[in-house]
């Protein structure tokens, strides 16, 4: 361990990342061109970051749940502690749901809840990172034109396309509690 | 999603996470910045897209 890593892992404000780092990718590749390219890229990333990676493809709605459950249960049996886990979910979807290859849906919240501090002892108090590559609706954002003053004072020639921003950036979502829970 | 290059979000995230070190929220800000700056064309029309980050992390999560 380098002196820099030692310094950071003993930092009370940082999660200890010195034990097992686990990653699970659940991906439906059917009718999703480019999925294998994403899986390959993720595998290279996990290797670079020192994560042990597991990939499962073409899952039914129930299959997503079963594979995540198995991932969680396997963690509970590990002798060495787990420091962190990444779960990547890639499928067709809508707001709050993923679509299985059987055409049935699974709620994202059902999957997220499987690794909470209540439902996963091995990951209690440990960072759990969910990365979801799926549609959340059908709207398409044309973007909004950046005014010259907001672009650092650049003046655009009439023949140039002015730069645009996505509609929903620069917003900090700060909620008093997580969805479904009372706020005090 | 590009048939050969994969999805914009995953490819950007992988590039940032692999080639940068630091707290994950800082890295995700970089992902958002890159995606927001990009101009996508779909069916001849310009499109913008950005990820959304919701965090309940209690500590810094360093990726290295």
| Contact residues, A window 121-180, toward B, CB-based 8 Å cutoff | 127, 129, 131, 133, 140-143, 164-169, 173, 178
Residue A32's pLDDT is 84
Nearest residue to A46 (alpha-carbon basis) of B28, B23, B17: B17
Residue A9's pLDDT is 47
Residue A62's pLDDT is 98
**If residue B10 lies in a helix (H) or strand (E), which one and from where to where?**
helix B8-19
Q: If you ran DSSP here, which 8-state letter would residue A121 be given?
A: S
| A154 pLDDT more than 60 | no
Taking only the tens place, the pLDDT of each residue in B4-41 is 789 999 999 999 999 999 999 999 999 999 999 999 98
Mean pLDDT on B54-58: 94
Nearest residue to B7 (alpha-carbon basis) of A87, A33, A108: A33
Mean pLDDT of chain A: 88
A118: which residues sit within 8 A by CB, 6+ positions away?
none
Cβ-nearest to B62 among A17, A41, A42: A17
- Count CA within 13 A, CB hemisphere, residue A144: 7
Residue A172's pLDDT is 80
Residue A105 or residue A150, greater confidence: A105
Active site residue A173: no
CB contact under 8 A, B60 and A13: yes
CA distance B18 to chain A (A): 6
Mean pLDDT on A51-56: 98
Residue A168's pLDDT is 83
**If residue A106 lies in a helix (H) or strand (E), which one and from where to where?**
strand A105-107
Assess: ipTM above 0.90.
yes
Residue A126's pLDDT is 96
**Per-position DSSP letters for A42-64, written without gaps between them:** HHHHHHHHT-EEEEEES--HHHH
| Contact residues, B window 4-33, toward A, CB-based 8 Å cutoff | 4-7, 9-11, 13-14, 17-18, 24, 32
Residue A122 or residue B42, greater confidence: A122
CB contact under 8 A, A173 and B52: yes
Active site residue A135: yes
Contact, A63 vs A111, CB < 8 A?
Answer: no
Which site among A84, A113, A133, A180 would you substitute to test the B interface, given the most B Cβ atoms closer than 10 Å to its Cβ? A133
Taking only the tens place, the pLDDT of each residue in A54-75 is 999 999 999 999 999 999 999 9
Q: How far apart are CA A114 and CA A19, in angstroms?
A: 21
A5 touches chain B (CB under 8 A): yes
């Amino acid at each position: 361990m380098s002196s820099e890593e030692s310094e950071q892992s003993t930092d009370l404000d940082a999660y200890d990342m010195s034990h097992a780092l686990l990653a699970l990718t659940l991906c439906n590749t059917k009718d999703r061109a480019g999925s294998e390219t994403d899986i390959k890229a993720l595998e290279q990333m996990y290797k670079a970051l020192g994560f042990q990676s597991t990939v499962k493809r073409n899952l039914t709605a129930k299959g997503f749940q079963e594979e995540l459950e198995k991932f969680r249960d396997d963690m509970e049996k590990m002798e060495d502690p787990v420091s962190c886990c990444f779960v990547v979910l890639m499928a067709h979807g809508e707001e709050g749901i993923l679509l299985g290859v059987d055409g049935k849906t699974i709620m994202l919240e059902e999957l997220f809840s499987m690794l909470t501090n209540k439902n996963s002892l091995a990951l209690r108090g440990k960072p759990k990172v969910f990365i979801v590559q799926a549609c959340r609706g059908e709207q398409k954002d044309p973007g909004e034109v950046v005014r010259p003053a907001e672009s650092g004072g650049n003046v655009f020639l009439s023949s140039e396309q002015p730069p645009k921003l996505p509609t929903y950036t620069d917003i900090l979502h700060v909620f008093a509690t997580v969805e479904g829970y009372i706020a005090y | 999603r590009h048939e050969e290059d994969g999805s914009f979000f995953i490819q950007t995230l992988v590039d940032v996470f692999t080639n940068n070190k630091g707290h994950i929220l800082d890295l995700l800000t970089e992902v958002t910045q890159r995606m927001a700056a990009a101009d996508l064309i779909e069916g001849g029309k310009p499109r913008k897209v950005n990820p959304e980050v919701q965090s309940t992390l209690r500590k810094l999560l360093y990726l290295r």
